Chains A and B, each alone.
Chain A
């Protein structure tokens, strides 16, 4: 089945630093999604990408849908303590399989004040 490789697995950064994480896939996806999960909660959607090459921002977050449709990255600028959490990438297809997302293993972000 599809595999998503997400890196890095974890990051320890100082408040104010920029962060970059990425996902690569063995398959082509129609949609790339980035979620953030905090302890005891479900993943919360941060950014959705629908077209190859698309670059989308949400506040301090920027994500891109790779041209090959097999990769995506997420950047967080000027990190703050509340950015702490686990960030997941996910991909899905259109059509009847749209309800089945494949997830990366997550990037655990720790921000030191």
Chain B
């Protein structure tokens, strides 16, 4: 069964850092682009970042450039989102998803940035 399971969310203060993980099973992780999408409470969906199969290409939404880093560990089927200098407006559920076309989604992990 195909599964994407995010973890690492929590409550942090503005300016702090957090690393999200996404554990993948049920498909060949190393063959797919991977994506992070977020959803602020009561709001719509926002694409955050993408990473190529070998990690050699990455793309980010402007609002997180220079603060967030997407990476992957193909040997262990793990996707990461390292988040620095977190802001209140980064508060959201963060979903990992398969492919640029966002075919499959995890259940999400909640990140709350508040003082």
Chain B binds chain A: no
